[in-house]
Each structure stands twice: as C-alpha cells, then as structure tokens.
Structure 1
Amino acid sequence: MTRSIDYGNLMHRAMRGLIQEVLNDVAAEGLPGQHHFFITFDTMHPDVEIADWLSDRYPGEMTIVLQHWFDALVVTNDGFSVTLNFGDNPEPLYIPYDAIKTFVDPSVEFGLRFETQDDGDDDTEVDDDDAAEAPMDEMAEPQDEKKDTKAGAAQVVSLDSFRK
C-alpha cells in the first residue's frame, strides 16, 4: 500500500480553519468596515440545529446573511451558533463547518465553495463548474434577510488542482 499526502483534504481543513478564524474575529470585534457574509449550508446535515419551520421552508440548503443584525455569535472548533432575525422573530442556529457549502464576503469579492463528494465520505471538494467565479445573484438567501450591497462576482478558490 502506497502512502501519499492528501493535499485536497488538507486544503479543505485549511479553508474551514479560515472561516473559523474570520468568525472568531467577528465574534470578538464585530464586523469591520463594509464586510458581511453570505453563508450557505446544508439544512439536512445531521449536526445542523435550526427551527423546524426553517428546515421545512429551506429543505436542502439555506443562505444566511451576517451583516446588520445578528446576536450571540459563538465560534467553536466544530461550528458556530448565531441568532438571526427572521421577520422580527429571533431564531438561534447552529451550523457545523462541515455543513457549509459556500462562504462569501461580497465586500471584497471573496468566496469559498465546498461541495460534498458522491463517494459517501465526509470530505468535500470544489465542483469544476463553480471554480472560476460564482455570481452573487445566484446565491439563495432567506427572503426575510435583506442585502443592500451590489451584486458582484466572488473569487472562488478551487481545490481541484490540489487533488490527484
């Protein structure tokens, strides 16, 4: 059996670590300047904790916006919890990093896209079709959340070049 370095999974963990570090900074210091985040996640992931009405309304995936109003942002090694306002109803959510599909900061045109592999393991990879750019208007978001920024293209980091 030949041993090899799994650069794809190493890169995957590094990108999840980047998200954790950014959220840790926001939890401690708040959002700097015009930064804000669109975070799309798998609502069916077994460790996601959201209200039943949210999982019914967004079966499969949901995009949250961390911008003007969010509360109780707590970041851990496995994921983060946050309370968001949906139609004047505060709702707590817990999102593990492994459930995140995209993380976008349109203020600086930065974005990451993670997609689950079909082979049944928990690793993720970037789809070739999404590797170049992901237009912001293709991002779904809860209708109760408002975004007041210009739609633009986000830079998406492709992990495919690191996979064998």
Structure 2
Amino acid sequence: QTLIDQRLFALDAQRIPLRATTDAEIATKIQETVSHFPSTAMFEQRLRQVGFDSVKDDNFERLIAKRLDIEKYINFRFESFVVVTPDEEKKYYRDTYTPSFHTRSPGLLVPTFDEKRNEIHDTLVQQKVAASIERFVDEAKQRVQIDILYDV
C-alpha cells in the first residue's frame, strides 16, 4: 500500500511545479539519515543489505531525491494550507497534553501552555496534515485504476 500511496503522490506532484531538489539537499538528507546510525560504516553495511553499494550509489541518491520531492510536495500541497487556531491549541493543551503529562509524570509540575505552545502547534499541524493526506489518498484511489502485477 505504501508504494501505491507514494506513486499517487508522485503522479499528483507532477502537476504542481516545484523547485527541483538540489545535490546539496540530497547530501544533507543523506547525512541526516546517516546520523541516526552509530557510524557511517554501519549505515553503509545496512545499505548493502538492502541492495545499494554505498551512500554515493546513484540509485540510492535517486531514491533520496524522490523522497525529498515527495516531502516538498506534501509541504506545499497539505502543510502550507493548514490553519491551527489558538482555541484549538488551548483545547489540545487542556484535553490532551495535560492529562497525558499527568499520566506520564505524576507529581511533576505541568509545563505552562506558553512553554508548550510551539510543540502543541506542531503536533496539531501534523495531525491535520495526516488527516488531509489520508483523505487525498482515499479520493485518489477512487479516481484511478490500480493494477498490481506480480513477477512470475
């Protein structure tokens, strides 16, 4: 399903003129990914396990470029149109953040709304983006014919 969703995004993204991904952006994303591993050598070992030669493998760089293109598309198509109101932020703080904090950290003083406002805002944006993406994928799947081919 993930491959189908990615392909639907890629097809829709072709309709929207976005700035091309640069080599510098690809290098930055690769470095960011490598940083999640104990060492570059361990990351490259993992790459070889999944069929790539190294971080300089053309196919790996193309894969990263495609992921960045999809991220740009999602940002433009979904995130840039999300509106989170102050009332939504306060409601989330009151109804979700505070009870969750009390459960996770009983006895500790709950951070103030102002201290957590940016984090709450980002959480609400991501929730709305996820809901928009889900609606888009559901609608797109109804508009297209999907043929799943298996190697014989």
Give the TM-score of the pair, scaled to structure 2.
Answer: 0.24
Question: Whose radius of gyration is greater, 1 or 2?
Answer: 2
More strand by share: 1
Give the TM-score of the pair, scaled to structure 1.
Answer: 0.23
